[in-house]
Amino acid sequence: MTALQKFKEIENKITQYNEALGVIYWDLRTGAPRSGMERRSEVIGTLSSEMFKLSTSDELGKVLTELESEDIFATLSDMDQRLVKEARVEYDRSVKIPAEEYKKYVILTSNSENKWEECKGNNDFDGFKPYLEQIIEMQQKFIDYWGVKETRYDTLLDQYEPGMTVAMLDEIFEQLKQKLVPLAQKIAEHQYKPETSFLKNEFDIAAQKEFSLYILKQMGFKFDAGRLDESVHPFATGLNPGDVRITTRYLKDDVTSALFGTIHEGGHAMYEQNIMKELIGTSLCTGTSMGIHESQSRFWENIIGRSRQFWNCNYEKLQTLFPQFKDISVDTFFRGNNVVNPQLIRIEADELTYNLHIIIRYEIEKMIFNEGLKVEDLPKVWNEKYEQYLGVKPQTYSEGVLQDVHWAGGAFGYFPSYSLGNMYAAQILNTLEQEMPDFWNKVEQGQLHEIRDWLIERIYKYGKMRKPNELILNITKEPLNPNYLSQYLTKKYTEIYKLNN
């Protein structure tokens, strides 16, 4: 067997373990019986550590070194070269963590996520605190193992958005704040407010489900390569490109929550469903970064799903399913779904203030890892920042520092991806509008498949073959530029709030 064959065999096996784990995680979040979860965590621990052994094996290190030797590397295909480079990054990241510590970490985060769910339900920060402390302690150790980049937090950031740094984010978020804070203020002070009372009502769950499926079909979600289920916290998971699953949550008193959640996860899913088959069984068979992934969920959810054109197309269908809206015009419905409302919960935030929720988390994570902020001080800092940026103050832990699962899973450095996603999405929209002049017509006609196909060709099919900055440069001919997001939001809310009137 050649080094290349051996290398691919190991990569293949790693992705197989990853797929098995993916099925188990999906199962845990979509209705696995509670009493079996403790044992299931141990199964996860064992499979993860087997996968970890493969990912850190001397054998993999050896074939990688062999393949990286100048004379062999030059003979590899473009794909194989990418694969070797990517594998090297992941190998170096994994091999530095002692196997026992890794297993301990996996079990810790799995238990911690279950604990978080319980503690959030009981508003119990003290119950969750020891878990969070342990996770941060282990992450700090991992940073030492991996090596500190410009700052400690840079090391975490780079996992989710390769190439992104604290220095760059500080600047980008600063630019964003300078535009968005005054815009939010202008809106808050403006006299006109869209009507929203009609959104408060009772909505049949079966009809909500039907509408979700209807829109997914319009988007081009492939149902023979995916499924829609329910879970408390909606998510998307790509087991392989032929099996990409999303979940949503139907609320009796809110018709749009499940819908926008479904579109959001559908955007993630369509990315994973359309990665080229050649990448199956390799570490390149996933989205290139969390930021680019979020750009797709947000592009579909916000830019398309919350647009006037989208509702011009789909409002009649909605009215058929929900006669409550019979006397509400599409214009009223569209505006009502785009209200700017600074409040406590990130996942309920509007497109504009959402970025402020992210900036708060980014600043706190930096404080934890770069300045040694203690877990016990988190609620205080959290509440202060919410007052400062959004003018609201949490009354409970559940609506404050306990609201997100991310930290319970150890995903420090992840949050910025959401705002990066918003920025990428707005920048990609700008290119799309130029290259596809009838873009908004297509949305209005429900020809979303054609937009999906454009995204497949520019983004989805490549998986991890192209790095995020490379991808954005290729598509838009310039690096990430936060001005597109501010321009998009300014234009959108100027219309919705009639700011020019």
What residue ranges bind a second copy (CB under 8 A)?
13, 16-17, 19-20, 23-24, 27, 31-40, 42-43, 46-47, 50, 222-227, 239-245, 280-281
E strands, 340-472, are: none
Question: Which has the closest alpha carbon to 145: 133, 132, 159?
Answer: 159
Longest CA–CA separation in the chain, Å: 73
Name the token pair of 230: 């329910």
In whole angstroms, the minimum distance from the beta carbon of 254 to a second copy comes to 24
**Of 220 and 468, CB closest to a second copy:** 220
Residue 351 structure tokens: 């497109």
Residue numbers annotated as active site: 265
Q: How far apart are CA 153 and CA 430, in angstroms?
A: 31
CB of 251 to a second copy, least distance (A): 21
- Residue 324 tokens read as 């409550």
Distance CA 486, CA 193 (A): 21
Q: Which CB atom, from 39 or from 326, has the smaller least distance to a second copy?
A: 39
With H, G, I as helix, E, B as strand and everything else as coil, classify residue 238.
Answer: strand
Least Å from the CB of residue 33 to a second copy? 5
Phi, psi of 243 (to 5 degrees): -150, 85
CB of 217 to a second copy, least distance (A): 14
Q: Find how far residue 493's CA is from the centre of its chain.
A: 24
Cβ nearer to a second copy, comparing 129 with 222: 222
Kindly tell me which of 115 and 366 has the beta carbon lying closer to a second copy. Answer: 115
In sequence order, which residues have a C-beta less than 8 Å from that of residue 150 and are 6 or more positions away? 165, 166, 167
Per-residue 3-state assignment (H helix, E strand, C coil) for 98-148: CHHHHHHHHHHHHHHHHHHHHHHHHCCHHHHHHHHHHHHHHHHHHHHHHCC
CB of 112 to a second copy, least distance (A): 19
Q: Which is nearer to a second copy, 192 or 223 (CB)?
A: 223
Q: Choose between 245 and 458: whose C-beta lies nearer to a second copy.
A: 245
Tell me, rounded to whole angstroms, the distance of Cα 8 from its chain centroid: 29
Q: How many CA atoms lie within 13 A of 471 on its CB side?
A: 28
Min dist CB 221 to a second copy, Å, is 11
